[in-house]
Amino acid sequence: MKLYKTTITPLSSFGTTLKGDTIFGHICWAICLKNKNRLNELLKGYEKEPFLVISDAFVSGYFPKPTAPSTMLGENLADKKVNRKKVWLNRKDLQNGDFSLAKSDDELKKPMVTFLSIKNKINRLTFTTDGGDFAPYSMSEYMTVPQDVYFLLDTDKMSLDELKDAFSLVGKMGYGKKASIGKGRFEVGEFCEIESFFNENSNAFMTLSPSSLENFSEIYYEPFTRFGKHGASLASDKPFKSPVLLAQSGALIVPNDDEKTKIQKAAYIGKGIKGHSSHEESVQQGYAIVVGTKVIK
């Protein structure tokens, strides 16, 4: 599998955070809209061998700090409150385990700004609010700077051009909540192949998206529950999926020698998920690309 990176430039605000498993679902829909049989072909055997693994979107040039005890990251316990705000590392510092060089949102000039937009429902026949009460509601949205997204692609199953076309279509159609009113639009930059995320000093691995972790000898993570919902043509018939418990992005795996060899060979961890929806063909990305790092054992 080959590792690629692209940078997306937002063209609107977003109602849904850019998580790898949700981006994967959108790309599957983009493929399906062009050729459903092609999507079914790509998804054969997905539970064990993915054709594509997608990361979350991160501030361009940076990665999140791993979820792990401060002692493993070499942080001063007296500065716990300060350290909690320092959540961004460049690739070099992450791979070398230089967690003291992490930056906060303020240091990166607030790369993401969340706000509430006030809306109201209008009856399209009367052009007034229904009933006697004026009942506005709020919706959380966010604006963000350009973001990097990473793709681990099996080019024997799917070409890079096919991936580019599908992801560009997602950017034009809109991502996530309220895409039908213009939210979640973005422009896709060039795809470039990059080097492996591992080096000889790596003694741990960090995930880049929510994942279904296997039975590793030592792991650290925050739980993340995905309350999934179908879109497009499946949105009108039993749209809600069963909740899926995952490990949040930034999970840290401290492997033994056998596990380390296996992870470096695959460049990802996790598994594909099925059985969480009344639509049997539905799949969930439980895989995650991993980055090698160095922690204090």
What confidence tens digit (pLDDT) does each residue in 142-159 have? 999 999 999 999 999 999
Q: By the 8 A CB rule, do 150 and 289 touch?
A: yes
Query: 256-289 burial string, b = 16+ CB within 10 Å, else e?
Result: eeebbeebbebbbbbbbbeebbeeeebbbbbbbb
Q: Among 70-74, 196-200, 261-265, 292-296, where is mean pLDDT lowest?
A: 196-200
Exposed, middle or buried: residue 147 (CB in 10 Å: 0-12, 13-18, 19+)?
buried
Residue 46 has pLDDT above 70, yes or no: yes
d(CA 189, CA 105): 24
d(CA 276, CA 284): 8
Share of the chain above pLDDT 70, in %: 99
Residue 223 has pLDDT above 80, yes or no: yes
Name the pLDDT band for 26 (thresholds 50, 70, 90). Answer: very high
pLDDT at 262: 92
Q: Check residue 241 and report its DSSP letter.
A: P
What length is written for the chain? 297
d(CA 202, CA 170): 35
